[in-house]
């Protein structure tokens, strides 16, 4: 079965860095786009970044552009999020999510699997 397991969260001071990982299993990781989505305490979902199946394209939310970098290692079935210059407003649970697609049409079918999330707390 599909599993996404995030790790790397913790407490970090403003201005410092942190790298999150998402270990994937149960599907052909190298065939799917992958995303990071975050949720601040008591708030809604906020999309962070996407990386295409082969790593050829990456896109970011304006709120993290220039500070966060999404990457993947298809040989290790692992997704990463490098977070630099962290701010207190980056405090959130960070989820990795798999992008589904219809095998017949190739159309996006939404985020069909999510990890359990990892909490990042930015505080002095």
Partner 1 sequence: SYELTQPPSVSVSPGQTASITCSGDKLGDKYTYWYQQKPGQSPVLVIYQDTNRPSGIPERFSGSNSGNTATLTISGTQAMDETDYYCQAWDSSSVVFGGGTKLTVL
- What does the binding site for partner 1 look like in residue numbers (CB under 8 A)? 35, 37, 44-47, 50, 57, 59, 61-62, 95, 100, 107-112, 114-117
Minimal distance, residue 109 CB to partner 1, in Å: 5
**Tokens linked to 76:** 């290790």
Q: Which is nearer to partner 1, 16 or 65 (CB)?
A: 65
Q: Which is nearer to partner 1, 64 or 86 (CB)?
A: 64
Pairing of strands 58-60, 10-12: unpaired
Minimal distance, residue 98 CB to partner 1, in Å: 10
Tell the residue number behind the tokens 């995303």, with chain if given. 35
Minimal distance, residue 68 CB to partner 1, in Å: 14
- State the Cα–Cα distance between residues 104 and 85, nearest whole angstrom: 42
User: Please, what's the b/e burial string for 92-121 (b: 16 or more CB within 10 A of its CB; e: otherwise)?
Assistant: bbbbbbbbbbeeeeeeeeebebebebbebe
Minimal distance, residue 117 CB to partner 1, in Å: 6
Q: Which is nearer to partner 1, 51 or 122 (CB)?
A: 51
**Tokens linked to 122:** 């930015």
Q: Which is nearer to partner 1, 82 or 100 (CB)?
A: 100
């Amino acid at each position: 079965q599909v599993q996404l397991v995030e790790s790397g969260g913790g407490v970090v001071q403003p201005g410092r860095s942190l790298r999150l990982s998402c270990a994937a299993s149960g599907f052909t990781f190298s065939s799917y786009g992958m995303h990071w989505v975050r949720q601040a305490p008591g708030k809604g979902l906020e999309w962070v970044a996407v990386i295409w199946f082969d790593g050829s394209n990456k896109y970011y939310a304006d709120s993290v552009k220039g500070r966060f970098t999404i990457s993947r290692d298809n040989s290790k079935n692992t997704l990463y999020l490098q977070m630099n210059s962290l701010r207190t407003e980056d405090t959130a649970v960070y989820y990795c999510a798999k992008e589904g697609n219809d095998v017949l049409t190739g159309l996006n079918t939404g985020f069909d699997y999510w990890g359990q999330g990892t909490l990042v707390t930015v505080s002095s």
